[in-house]
Amino acid sequence: MAKPTGFMEYERELPADRSPQERISNWLEFHLHFPDEKLVQQSARCMDCGIPFCHTGELISGMASGCPVHNLIPEFNDLIYRGLWRQALDRLLKTNNFPEFTGRVCPAPCEGSCTLGINEPPVTIKNIEYSIIERGFAEGWIQPNPPDKRTGKRVAVIGSGPAGLACADQLNRAGHTVTVYERADRIGGLLMYGIPNMKLDKAIVQRRVDLMAAEGITFVTGVEIGTDMPAAQLRDAFDAVVLAGGATNPRDLPVEGRDLKGVHFAMEFLHANTKRLLDEGEEAKTRTFENGVAPQNDDARFPFISAKGKHVIVIGGGDTGTDCVGTSLRHGCESVIQFEILDRPPDARQPDNPWPEWPKIFRVDYGQEEAAALQGSDPRHYAIMTKKLVGDAEGNVQEIHTVDIEWVFENGVRPQLHEIPGSDKVWPAQLVLLAMGFLGPENPVLEQLGVEQDARSNAKAEYGDYATNVPGVFAAGDMRRGQSLIVWAINEGRGAAREVDRYLMGETELP
């Protein structure tokens, strides 16, 4: 594939980012673009490896190995090397409904299992994918393509995140009439309100939503099924229902002082920030809120939370924690610190984490890079546990009390947490953001429809089948599998659409 000796001739190279000092003054995407000749060189690094683990999409040791949507990566790399951009786009869209999303925010398990990555830096698959889809939009190759005929079957999709949108897109291609319900005021789920604009510009999300609407999908916003509309009413009005509402029940911090003012779940902070940015209009992306006049029409569920001038502590790692760090810096916080209860990951793969598993190694994401540039050091503190929160006389949080911990293996069981005596510390904090993951879906729809739940409270449906215990009701994405990656959500949305089509028509041609 591509150039047989390319992996020996070219080093891994990615486009530069705008400097941290520049990018924290606005909400614009911070990755710069690569010229075509650089992309050709990077695609040339793809080896003729015989067995391309990059598109296997398996779970190994509980982690994604390879692309869960099975992108035909060596094939589109070869096409880019040969300058066949249109054909590369066609190949990419065979497996991935939304490369513009995965090309920006997917952690790229494909690169973690790249054969070249055994002893060299892997191929820049994610950036090549991003470049292909953006070239497609720029050239006008991507246009609305509604189905030639309709089946007469009607399907409701609850939730407009990546699983819901992928499911709706596939069902629409099959000719079914699809309506997507979203409780927020804009379509996109976590794509719209959970990921900050500097990582995924909301105009990119809206571009895709507009395209899907032009292809015949109906979007209904501001309607929460199970609250604003009884779920049974929806079931009666449609031939099938797909539950794709995500895993939106956040993990809480059960410590003294949790009820103090200034302690918020991460999604409260991120959702409100993006809503205010969108309400102000396109020009708001070029500045921070503190330099402009903010509107007063905040979402009642997510009132705006400002980090300006505050000592901010983010409890939890992962992408959500990083997004809280980056957003706080753009607000003009006094300082930002991030607590992680686990040990610092190693710099290189360990013997118990072999290729092609996802490499569990130390990484510096954009938020940590920005914090280090402004504050002089990485904001993360590892192996640390919050003991209590302390407030002032008015009930505002002012301090976090912590203790260092160590993880000890005992009797061959999972490591146990032990506090280290004398390691207690007090940290100033006027804003505490809880980014500790999600426990499962919110339940009104599941309860009203009588959908069985598994031990983790998710909608109970087998992977590959997606059918719940209620005839005609299917579940996909985080609502079925629990908190996971955007690319797994797309995988499940596509799979659920295939099974819904089979249920409605008796057979299916959907992939």
Per-residue H/E/C for 306-364? CCCCCEEEEECCHHHHHHHHHHHHHHCCCEEEEEECCCCCCCCCCCCCCCCCCCCCCCC
**Domains defined for the chain, CATH in brackets:** 6-138 (1.10.1060.10), 154-249+439-505 (3.50.50.60), 252-436 (3.50.50.60)
Residues 6+ apart with CB under 8 A from 98: 162, 165, 166, 208, 490
* Residue 193 contacts residue 126 (beta carbons within 8 Å): no
* Residue 203 contacts residue 282 (beta carbons within 8 Å): yes
- If one counts every other C-beta atom within 10 angstroms of the C-beta of residue 205, the result is 24
pLDDT at 298 over 60: no
Q: Is cis: bond before 356, omega within 30 of 0? A: yes
- Please report which helix (H) or strand (E) contains residue 275, including its range: helix 266-280
pTM for the whole structure: 0.95
Half-sphere exposure of 142 (CA within 13 A, CB side): 22
* Residue 285 contacts residue 200 (beta carbons within 8 Å): no
Query: What's the CA gap between 302 and 294, in Å, rounded?
Result: 15
- Mean pLDDT lowest for which of 188-202, 351-365, 408-422? 408-422
Q: What are phi and psi of 70, to 5 degrees?
A: 60, 45
Q: Sign of the C-alpha dihedral, residues 200, 292, 305, 330?
A: positive
pLDDT at 286 over 90: no
Which of the 8 DSSP states describes residue 25?
T
Residues 6+ apart with CB under 8 A from 410: 416
In order of 85, 110, 127, 130, 461, the CA distances from 103 in angstroms are 16, 12, 6, 4, 29
The residue assigned the tokens 């976590």 is 190
- Pairing status of strand 240-243 against strand 154-158: parallel
- And the tokens for 26? 């606005």
Query: What's the CA gap between 206 and 257, in Å, rounded?
Result: 40
268-285: per-residue pLDDT in tens?
Answer: 999 999 999 999 888 888
- Pairing status of strand 63-65 against strand 58-60: antiparallel
Q: How would you write 100-125 as a 3-class SS string?
A: HHHHHHCCCHHHHCCHHHHCCCCCCH
- Pairing status of strand 380-382 against strand 384-391: unpaired
356-396: per-residue pLDDT in tens?
Answer: 999 999 999 999 999 999 999 999 999 999 999 999 999 99
Which of the 8 DSSP states describes residue 301?
S
pLDDT at 289 over 70: no
Higher pLDDT, 283 or 5: 5
Planar angle of CA 201, 204, 210, nearest 5 degrees:
140
| Local confidence band at 213 (pLDDT 50, 70, 90 cut-offs) | very high
Query: What's the CA gap between 59 and 106, in Å, rounded?
Result: 16
- Pairing status of strand 380-382 against strand 438-440: unpaired
Q: Give me the pLDDT at residue 146, please.
A: 98
- And the tokens for 313? 């502590």
The b-or-e profile of 256-279 (16+ CB within 10 A means b, else e) is ebeebebbbbbbbbbbbbbbbbbb
pLDDT at 412 over 80: no
Q: Give me the pLDDT at residue 295, please.
A: 46
The residue assigned the tokens 């499911």 is 167
Q: Give me the pLDDT at residue 13, please.
A: 97
In order of 245, 360, 373, the CA distances from 183 in angstroms are 10, 36, 38
How big is the chain, counted in residues? 511
* Residue 317 contacts residue 340 (beta carbons within 8 Å): yes
- Please report which helix (H) or strand (E) contains residue 36, including its range: helix 36-44
- Please report which helix (H) or strand (E) contains residue 249, including its range: strand 249-250
83-122: per-residue pLDDT in tens?
Answer: 999 999 999 999 999 999 999 999 999 999 999 999 999 9
Query: Both ends of the chain: CA-CA distance in Å?
Result: 25
69-87: per-residue pLDDT in tens?
Answer: 999 999 999 999 999 999 9
Q: Give me the pLDDT at residue 293, please.
A: 43
CA 442 to the chain's CA centroid? 18
Q: Give me the pLDDT at residue 299, please.
A: 60
Q: Which of 456, 426, 460 is nearest to 446 (CA)?
A: 460
| CA gyration radius, the chain | 23
* Residue 336 contacts residue 314 (beta carbons within 8 Å): yes
Q: Give me the pLDDT at residue 290, please.
A: 56
